[in-house]
Amino acid sequence: GPLVGNLIGEGHANYVLMFNMLTGIRVAVSRCQAKIRRPLTEEDYTAAHKYSFDFAGNELTPSTKYDFKFKDYAPWVFRELREEYFHLDPADYLLSLTAKYILSELGSPGKSGSFFYFSRDYRFIIKTIHYTEHKFLRRILRQYHEHVTSNPHTLLSRFYGLHRVKLPHGRKIHFVIMNNLFPPHKDVHETYDLKGSTIGREYPEEKAAQNPRAVLKDLNWINRGKELELGPEKRALLAEQIRRDSALLKHIDVMDYSLLIGIHNMARGNRDNVRRNTLKVFSPEVKRLRRKLTLGKGKGPLSPEAAEMRRVVRESDPQILDPSDILPDEDTGERQHFLFYQDEGGLRATDEANDSLNKIYYLGIIDILTPYTTLKKLEHFWKGLKADRHKISPVPPVEYADRFFSFMKAIMRGGEGGSRFKSE
């Protein structure tokens, strides 16, 4: 992607970016948090607080080793969302993100070029977003806020903050902080990213057999004959929430979002420790850095910059870092407030009599910031020439939302299954 696609090849560029993102969050969020809460005003939705970081520092910002600018968007709105509706403890939020400057990088799993980072305790995801997504989130922030207010159990991504880092050469990186749907303590044995569209929506099964972490799609779900195993009550509640959430998405004119489903099989437990094994704490970056820093060893006192780098490297050394140090002892508190995240952080499968089955679903609606732009309209036109235009994914928002909702209802137990969504 054009935004950060080349950062990865730029030596330590991602390290610097991470450092700046976390410094900005730490300073900006604690500044807002230090003030006494007040009711939101009209201006709060459009506000953008600017910070300038450099070695000299000033009354707003501490001295930092890199020069960069930081913008905190609608800080009061996000503060209210976090505290009032998402049940996050303010100190806890900041500590999770910035107590140590460690993020693990998932890289860029989608086609969009966005980068994903996990906080060290795996609770939060930082996703870099495109400028158009950023602009869009600011534009719909009031509606999002209203939706969350009237839908405390929403399945939509929980946005905790919207920020921007501007590097000295002018590159601007926008990012959101959101909830990780998947729990820190449970292996997710199967993952599906479902849109209700079947054209091109298949992860090759041969590859899936090799890769337990593959993100599977609509056709894999259908061809494997899967269904969401939920009793009548949970089914009705979930369907109603998806209906309301997709109504909002329709209203704000977005498309391309998906229902992400992670399945934890309780009989298999956590013995795979899939996540812990793949939790790489910036290891290639760190290794390169370490090599660099040890080269200068024993040649006089370290520069403050090198000393700081060393400290960070030491802190992020996977050898020293005990994984249990990264993960909280039990599932964190906020999920207990949410209907669909109550059972060990997720939604326990049930049978028709509402008795529990040995499965936990972790689900939510993600990637909700793609407005139906001219670009998509064009894409729609070209793809529409080749295939049934109702089955390809870039259809207009109303059609997208309706198809999404009926697909999700169809895949619940007792539904008709997803196969009617397949092309002939």
Catalog residues that contact Ca ion under the rule CB under 5 A. Answer: 112, 367
Query: What letter would DSSP give residue 303?
Result: P
- Minimum gap (Å) between residue 110 Cβ and ligand ATP: 2
126 scored as a contact of ligand ATP (CB under 6 A)? no
- Minimum gap (Å) between residue 267 Cβ and ligand ATP: 23
Nearer to ligand ATP (CB atom), residue 104 or residue 157: 157
260 scored as a contact of ligand ATP (CB under 6 A)? yes
**Tokens linked to 422:** 């397949």
Q: Which of Ca ion, ligand ATP, none sits in contact with 109, Cβ below 5 to 8 A by type?
A: ligand ATP
Q: Which of Ca ion, ligand ATP, none sits in contact with 155, Cβ below 5 to 8 A by type?
A: none
Q: Which of ligand ATP, Ca ion, none sits in contact with 248, Cβ below 5 to 8 A by type?
A: none
For residue 362, the tally of other CB atoms under 10 A from its CB is 23
d(CA 133, CA 367): 10
Nearer to Ca ion (CB atom), residue 70 or residue 203: 203
d(CA 131, CA 149): 26
The stretch near ligand ATP (CB under 6 A) out of 88-96, 106-114, 269-277, 329-337 is 106-114
Among 20, 96, 104, 114, binds ligand ATP (CB under 6 A): 114
245 scored as a contact of ligand ATP (CB under 6 A)? no
Q: Is 74 exposed, middle or buried (0-12, 13-18, 19+ CB in 10 A)?
A: buried
Is residue 154 within 8 Å of 245, Cβ to Cβ?
A: yes
182 scored as a contact of ligand ATP (CB under 6 A)? yes
Among 97, 165, 176, 181, binds ligand ATP (CB under 6 A): 181
d(CA 341, CA 397): 27
Site string for ligand ATP, 343-382 (x = CB under 6 A): -----------------------xx---------------
**Radius of gyration from C-alpha coordinates of the chain:** 22
DSSP letter string over 338-397? SGGG-BTTBEEEE-TT--EEEEEEEEEEE----B--HHHHHHHHHHHHHS-TTTSS---H
Question: Residue 420: which of 391, 396, 386 has the closest Cα?
Answer: 391
Please report, as ranges, the residues that interact with ligand ATP according to CB under 6 A: 109-112, 114, 116, 125, 157, 178-182, 191, 193, 215, 260, 366-367
